[in-house]
Chains A and B, each alone.
Chain A
Amino acid sequence: MDFNEIFDILVIISRYLVAGLAVLVLGSCVFSLVGRQFGKRIGSYLYDPGSKTRLPLTRWENSVGRSKTCDVVLSMPDVSRFHAVISKRRNGWVVADTHSSAGVFVNGSAVVQPTPIAHGDTVSFGSVGFVFVDADEDEKEQEAREKRRAFSRKAAARAAAMKPEAEFYPALIDEAGDKAYIITCDSCLFGRGPDCDVRLRYPTVSSSHARVTAQGGAWFVEDLGTTGGTTVNAKPIGQSKRRLHDGDVIGMGGVIFLFNEHYKVKNRTDAEGW
């Protein structure tokens, strides 16, 4: 069999081969495209505290108005047929007034340009007001609440197990509950860096993260201008100095600790911060 013969056979086969391959490729492409799975919808909503009802915002763009074609139908007389649009953008949620007669207000101020709205803001369409609940923030809050509850339960159990003759120090106890960072001085520097009084070896904690100080028998925490920030009970403290109570949850760069004002130290080697 010489080259030409082989070539001829190849040419004959290629007719069927090309057709078969084309069917295979196009077939599996369109099959995959048409069978495309879509993720869940958004869970944000407008909350009406009066009637305790939720008006879900399921899309990235939601029309609000009296018309039945709107995503959020408000059948109140001073709501226009197409009153406003609430849309999710990359940086968050925005509400825009679409030439309504009664106007749109965010926390009481009228919306002229599309205005960002945050979790917990009050959005009013004419005289009808709602609390805007962002699904993300809502979820975070829920989670934090859960954690706090579980944490307090643990702490209570721990406290009950303590014996009164032991030495007591204020301390930050980590999430798992197996490490205690004892506060031994009146002005204690927390952070990742080597100069800190208490070293927290977490990547998201800044090198000098926060300072815990004692003033008049009370403990206070302040953030040292970090990127991760510091929270007390899931609320960012910003630049302020925040009073700490026993059982507060302190977050530093996403890592959370329980503040225990009277932590019993059995032997000093099991605790960090010395």
Chain B
Amino acid sequence: MSRLANKEEQKTRKKSEPFHWLYMLLLVTAIQIISGGTVLTQIQEAQLEVLAVFGSFLVVEWLYFVLARNLAGQRSTELEIIAFLLSGFGLVTVASVYPNYALKQFIAILIGLGAFVILLALMRNTEVVNALHIPVAVGCVGLLALNLMLAKVHNGALNWINVGGISIQPSEIVKIGFIFVGAATLEKLQSARSLTSYLVFSLGCVGALFLMRDFGTALIFFCTFMVMAFMRSGDIKTIGLIGAGAVLGAGLIVYFKPYVAKRFKAYRHVWEYMNDSGFQQTRVLIYSASGGLFGLGIGNGRLRKVYASTTDLIFGVICEEWGMIVAFCVVLSFAFVAVYALRLARHARSTVYAIAAVASAALLLVQLSLNVFGVTDLLPLTGVTLPFISRGGTSMICSWALFAFIKSADIKTYPKLEIQMEEKS
């Protein structure tokens, strides 16, 4: 009897649901077909491969939504719509600039989607999260240590490992672990109230990144750490002290190692150094402004010829070719996802989810700011990627994983738990 009533209730709710995922998916598909089709008419090489990649991407996309709705009972799939739309933007742009890279990018999206699903499953049970803390922490530290030992100099930063021809960026994977380790149940937080062990772990990560001279990622980790430490303890004094210490440390480094400061000498003076250290920023500004609100059309840009156009500078490429409206919508949607994460955290069923969602949203926003404002010279250029859109496998996986952390905080993600909760209320 009661089960029947529940089904009835679900049916009525489905009707009144304001968000029609199917229409959205159709629109997303339309965008992808238009943009993908444009790219296919333009590229000179690997057309068949790119066509296959685009086709498979669409199939995976539809498959995911159909399975998620019908098998996993997902009723709230907005986050995935956003993720697929942005991944699609990235895939199309990458395929348009480097047709031969499309397959790699697609595989990265697949792995990212896999990570998303696995993390959602893992996060279902807070006891599992608690139990995995130590192994994940050890893994993170190990990965960074391995990176420090093995990595070759790359872009002035030692942040890549080459494994059988595939270069991976451990710091991106450690981002996931970093948040995972920081997210704990209230019981665990209250049992071990001192920040010390968590502090040692976090500062270890930040320090390792600093040694790799990956200042951008180090800064992202540091900001995320501050947010998580605050969420966990609410201890403003200690956190303020750490913040002050970091500023002081940064000042000392700049004082004793002037070459660090030199890397940022073009900041706010890019037009004076427009042909050396301000080259990338000025080109982003020039070509972004050239695109206007609607862009010059995919493939018609010139920023794509500038070094790192599909990684660090991809915001500029989107601005130039897709237009300012699309570019600003993309970055604005992250701000709204952060508001969603905030509301989820307020209603979360465990502190694990509250911490994970808030930390993920903060990480995404900080990284987004460093990228978007870095290439447009509002902040120093540190060379971090744009989540979901930049070329690069590990970055893509990390972006999906962060969305998984946010989604896991929503009770709707776990329909069985939700019914259990609603029955009582």
Chain A contact residues, CB within 8 Å of chain B: 11, 14-19, 21-30, 32-36, 38-43, 59-63, 69, 82, 85, 87-90, 96, 98-99, 114, 135-136, 139
Contact = CB atoms under 8 A, between A and B. Distances in A.
Contacts of B424: 42-43, 135-136, 139
Interface in B390-415: 410-411
B24 A28 contact: yes
Contact of A82 (B28, B30, B190): B190
Contacts of B159: none
A33 B337 contact: yes
B333 A60 contact: no
B422 A39 contact: yes
Interface in B317-339: 322-323, 325-326, 329-330, 332-333, 336-337, 339
B34 A41 contact: no
Interface residues of B, number: 58
Contact of B351 (A61, A99, A135): A61
Contact of A18 (B31, B76, B82, B423): B31
Interface string B16-38: 00110000100110110011001
Given A15-B297, A22-B326, A61 B340 contact: no
Interface in B287-328: 293-295, 297, 322-323, 325-326
A25 to B, nearest CB: 5
B24 A22 contact: no
B166 to A, nearest CB: 31
Contacts of B347: 38
Nearest to B416: A90
B124 to A, nearest CB: 9
The interface centre, meaning the residue of A18, A89, A136, A139 with most chain B CB atoms within 10 A of its CB, is A18
Interface in B211-267: 234
Contacts of A38: 343, 347, 411
B276 interface: no
B350 interface: yes
Nearest to B80: A29
Interface of B: 18-19, 24, 27-28, 30-31, 34-35, 38, 76, 78-79, 81-82, 85, 125-127, 185-187, 190-191, 193, 234, 293-295, 297, 322-323, 325-326, 329-330, 332-333, 336-337, 339-340, 343-344, 347, 349-351, 410-411, 417-418, 420-425
A8 to B, nearest CB: 11
Contacts of A21: 27, 30-31
A22 B31 contact: yes
Contacts of A60: 349-350
Contacts of A32: 18-19, 78
6 contacts: A17-B34, A22-B322, A29-B78, A30-B82, A59-B349, A99-B191
Contacts of B337: 30, 33
A14 to B, nearest CB: 5
Given A63-B186, A85-B190, A98-B190, A25 B340 contact: no
Nearest to A136: B424
**Which 9 A-B residue pairs are closest in the complex by CB-CB distance?**
A30-B336, A40-B425, A60-B349, A32-B19, A33-B340, A98-B190, A61-B186, A85-B187, A29-B78
Contacts of B350: 60-61, 87
A112 B293 CA distance: 63
Contact of A41 (B81, B293, B343, B425): B425
A28 B191 CA distance: 42
A69 B233 CA distance: 11
Nearest to B24: A25
A188 to B, nearest CB: 26
Contacts of B340: 30, 33-34, 36
Contacts of B322: 18-19, 22
A238 to B, nearest CB: 24
B80 to A, nearest CB: 9
B81 A18 contact: no
Contacts of A33: 78-79, 336-337, 339-340
Contacts of B343: 34, 36, 38
Contact of B411 (A23, A28, A35, A39): A39
Contacts of B344: 36
Given A25-B28, A29-B333, A33-B79, A19 B294 contact: yes
Given A19-B294, A90-B417, A26 B330 contact: yes
Contacts of A42: 421, 424-425
A15 B294 contact: yes
Contacts of A23: 325-326, 329
A90 B419 CA distance: 12
A19 B325 contact: yes
Contacts of B38: 11, 14
A104 to B, nearest CB: 12
Contact of B82 (A26, A61, A89, A90): A26
A150 B363 CA distance: 58
B418 to A, nearest CB: 8
Nearest to A137: B424
B349 A98 contact: no
A23 B31 CA distance: 11
Contacts of B339: 33-34
The interface centre, meaning the residue of B76, B78, B85, B125 with most chain A CB atoms within 10 A of its CB, is B78
A79 to B, nearest CB: 14
A61 B418 CA distance: 16
A135 to B, nearest CB: 5
Nearest to B1: A254
A211 B392 CA distance: 70
A25 B191 contact: no
Contacts of A34: 336, 339-340, 343
Given A23-B325, A98-B191, A36 B85 contact: no
A24 B293 CA distance: 16
A4 B38 CA distance: 13
A127 B336 CA distance: 48
Contacts of A30: 78, 82, 332-333, 336-337, 340
